[in-house]
Structure 1
């Protein structure tokens, strides 16, 4: 040991979000004799470590956990709703922090709301927990061709604890999906029809919701593994490479200010879509595709009220006293290539727009509609890393080059028309027109270390998530996804992490 760190481990994992945790879980299940060290730049803000902050019952404790996740400048003003995000200027949501002012756009439209979290569990401590399966062109063709993709996604469901029944007691959910289906289901394959949103959420016997974070992905299998150790408040500053082979990581102890080298047989970097390529650049690992093919999901949002329900009886078990719980029901309008949007339809506990004082709200009747749009991929949409300037962690400063194409703008306009169709199908639109959130608001940054079937210069990693350029270096996260997706990407990125972890197990068992 050097200080609180080991001198050597079998596998070093940078990042404690859902994908880094998936690596640790699969390694603990399939090869428990391997020593594993996981490094996280942020503090532990919840218990069990990595658990979702929504599971913190006390409001003040939850707010404190969110503030401690907000990087090197916690406590700055944040915004907590889509409408506030759209109207309130350039502010992050609770638990996240923005790229420094000016760094979000070096050219084009930029990503003004590009944000990150620094805490054990990463963004998995703050996410919406939506886990839709990719469809049509969102799917990864070369993994589909081998028959692997669905089995891997099934494993991701298992690790994340995905369910579809957590909100079965929500009032009017079935009616809402019936009305949405009447508007869009004709001609769709069964998997692409309106349905309940798969969520990494379960309901306890006492009725409380439990939202999955990295704690669920790690599971008891990892927590009880004596060969696994999580080191928080530890910044990885460099991947150590010797003659084209990853041999460990250099880490900076943010508690003491000391720097250490931890040697490893395998290195996994799962530091998010912005900081994973940043760490590779800082390590001198700079393949052509690094930071390129950046893509995010433009969001169009609106609200409506379910009408014609005043005389409907509330089924037994669906009576609600007072307001509904947060996210009281989530329905899903899947992506198709003809309508390249992913729809996340949420029954809200309050109206996002003011209603008349004498206008009573039936529980479950206020609906927030959101459509996420797939982006046209381009190598010109990229991250640029400085050789001179540094960020608050001392790593190369990030600049964003990102522009919507004419095709992207057409898709957004189509989404606006489609969301009005959905709102009218639901009942009464609650505003004059939908609005588009500022770019970067989805927090779904993908493609910056994308996967490829062959090493043709357009990808950073191969089908097992190992980098083409450095042997024994694996990457994880939404940044590995090579397709343009509209659906929430976490399920897919965890599935890819399962495949990478299995490759490590096979690889180290052969040595």
Structure 2
């Protein structure tokens, strides 16, 4: 059965898919837009970040829905437990030889990971930027992306420890850096209310009122099972709703932003299989540590201003940032002030509010075509689509990067006062950052090493776009969400041009396009 036709169908309602929908709705209101999401809405109105829900019961319910009904299991020796709101792709078994991606996880809900993310939006530095996108062009769409995400660096102004932490870090890490790459507050996707309440950005913020005013139609609990093609041109999609009923939706263009695993899978089942599809998979190397602030960094106001209930924990009393610097600090650092510990730390039952600081470092993966997600047509998952198998290995270069990150994390802990309990930094298992990239990567020419052109158009298929972290082709250390949204805005604008009659993608796309 054929349903209503649309100008563009967007697959996946996360930050990227929603940014595409918002861009098309705002800049081409004459076009009909359908936004399709396999998972359920977690809130009413749909798309709120779970952290903004009114009580713990609502949050727990939303996280269970996002986990597709899977009950979270406690961690076991040698196995990884999924974070609330996500579920593991594999069995979570950690191998001693650094193979596989045991912590790889996903969520299935309206808003995608945008309902669960930390909101960190660091600006990529030299070496992280895509070299063939002109700086002025990227900076323009970066500003647009930060506007959609409501990015600010003033979310925790006034917190009495923020300046002291930055001062201590600056003394160690700022020398020789450009002014915009010195230690500073983390850019965060968050809004501050009149009563200083913090509202983390979900897709409700990104979409604005486009659903209410009918500019975009959202269909939740609807799985896109195939993109339909005729003579290498998109004609629409096949969908299946939660009742199991299937429908053909005609469309002039399809934009797939499902995630770095499900986007290449949908192309695979649709018969779109360029050589690079699913390859070049990479995730950030990740090291964590805890530090206790030196007493000299804790002003009297911090000891008296904030009261707390014993045993409670607020994870985001403030977030500072050590930016990536290719020559001096080729990592991305998040320094997160924790108001209190939920358990006694280092012999003290009640540390001063804010005196325990979490240190998170992200490093660049040594990217290889052999690291990939593969699709098993003979072993479908619960959706009926091919099962996912991840093939992934750390290289000697990666291990050297991790050693350097451990040293850097230890240096940060010393700069702030010292490691909690004398513990060394911890290396987190592959896949833990949830920042999966590369599987539908962009490229300049159709030479078999990329899936899409520099504007996200899939090679050799007219009307088919891809977006999300999977299009990022460069090794990066910074959180990729804002970068992916910026790239998606570029792609959405090109989709509008194509739908209005501009020259479509050809087999030999050149730099000039």
Q: Deviations over 1:104-154 (max 9, x none)?
A: 99x961100100000000000000000001111110111136x31111110
Q: Which residue of 2 aligns with 1:82?
A: none
Aligned to 1:289, the other structure's residue is in SS state coil
CA distance in 2, matches of 1:319, 1:88: 42
CA contact (8 A) 2:165 2:297 kept: no
Residue of structure 2 in register with 1:156 after alignment: 145
Residue 292 of structure 1 corresponds to which residue in structure 2?
279
Are 1:217 and 2:206 counterparts?
yes
SS in 2 for 1:141: coil
Of 58, 69, 72, the residue aligned with 1:61 is: 58
Number of the residue aligned with 1:259: 246
2:302–2:353 contact (8 Å) kept in structure 1: no
Q: Secondary structure at the match of 1:143?
A: coil
Q: Does 1:271 align with 2:258?
A: yes
Residues 317-355 of structure 1 show CA distances to partners (whole Å, capped at 9, x for unaligned) of x92121674311000011122322110110013237732
Residue 233 of structure 2 corresponds to residue 249 of structure 1: no
Which residue of 469, 478, 496 maps to 2:487? 496
Q: Once the 2 structures are TM-superposed, how far is the Cα of residue 89 of structure 1 from its aligned partner?
A: 2.9
Kindly tell me the number of residue pairs found equivalent between the two proteins.
496
3-state secondary structure, aligned to 1:493: helix
Contact 1:28 / 1:225 at 8 angstroms: preserved in 2? no
Question: What residue number does 2:509 align with?
Answer: none
**Does 1:125 find its partner at 2:115?**
yes
Change (3 A) 1:279 1:184: same
CA distance in 2, matches of 1:104, 1:183: 35
Secondary structure of 1:332 counterpart:
strand
1:413 and 1:499 mapped to 2: Cα distance?
37
Question: What is the alpha-carbon distance in structure 2 between the residues aligned to residue 387 and residue 170 of structure 1?
Answer: 53
CA displacement at 1:167 relative to structure 2: 0.9
Residue of structure 1 equivalent to 2:270? 283
Distance 1:405-1:18 versus aligned 2 partners, 3 A rule: same
Looking at structure 2, the residues matched to 504 and 104 of structure 1 have their Cα atoms a distance apart, in angstroms, of 42
Matched, 1:345 2:332: no
Question: Mean Cα displacement is larger for which, 322-331 or 172-181?
Answer: 322-331
Equivalent of 1:175, from 164, 168, 174? 164
Tell me which residue corresponds to 2:305.
Answer: 319
Report whether the alignment pairs 1:441 with 2:432.
Answer: yes
Is 1:462 aligned with 2:449? no
Selected match of 2:35 from 34, 38, 42: 38
Structure 1 position 58, deviation (Å): 0.7
Partner of 2:505: none
Aligned counterparts of 2:284 and 2:297: Cα–Cα separation in 1: 37
1:47 Cα offset (Å): 2.8
1:25 to 19, 22, 26: 22
Q: Structure 1 residues 196 and 358 mapped into 2: Cα distance closer, same or farther (>3 Å)?
A: closer
Contact kept, 8 Å, 2:164 with 2:297, in 1: the verdict is no
**Would you say the 8 A contact 1:103–1:399 is kept in 2?**
no
Residues 1:402 and 2:392 are matched in the alignment: yes
- Structure 2: tracts of 5 or more residues without a match: 503-513
Would you say 1:75 and 2:71 are equivalent positions?
Answer: yes
**Structure 1 residue 361: Cα displacement:** 1.5
1:237 correspondence with 2:228: no
Aligned to 2:79: 89
Moved more, 94-103 or 365-374: 94-103
Distance in 2, matches of 1:35 and 1:276, equals: 22
TM-score normalized by structure 1?
0.93
Matched, 1:415 2:399: no
Query: Which of 463, 472, 487 matches 2:463?
Result: 472
Residue number in structure 2 paired with 1:354: 344
Change (3 A) 1:310 1:184: closer
Give the whole-Å Cα distance in 1 for the aligned partners of 2:385 and 2:490: 29
**SS in structure 1 opposite 2:378?**
strand
Distance (whole Å) between structure 2 residues aligned to residue 426 and residue 352 of structure 1? 21
**1:427/1:471 CA distance change after superposition, 3 Å:** same
Q: Tell me, yes or no, if structure 1 residue 336 matches structure 2 residue 322.
A: no
Partners of 2:345 and 2:501 in 1: how far apart? 66
Q: Distance in 2 between matches of 1:148 and 1:400?
A: 34
* Alignment partner, residue 47 of structure 2: 50
Q: Is the 8 A contact 2:377 2:385 kept in 1?
A: no
What is the deviation of 1:315? 7.5
Give the conservation status (yes or no) of the 8 Å contact 1:170–1:364.
no
TM-score (norm 2): 0.92
Unaligned ranges ≥5, structure 1: 80-84
C-alpha RMSD over aligned residues? 2.1
Structure 1 residue 183, shift from structure 2 partner: 1.2
**Which whole-Å CA distance do the structure 2 matches of 1:112 and 1:494 have between them?**
27
Query: Aligned equivalents of 2:183 and 2:252: distance in 1?
Result: 46
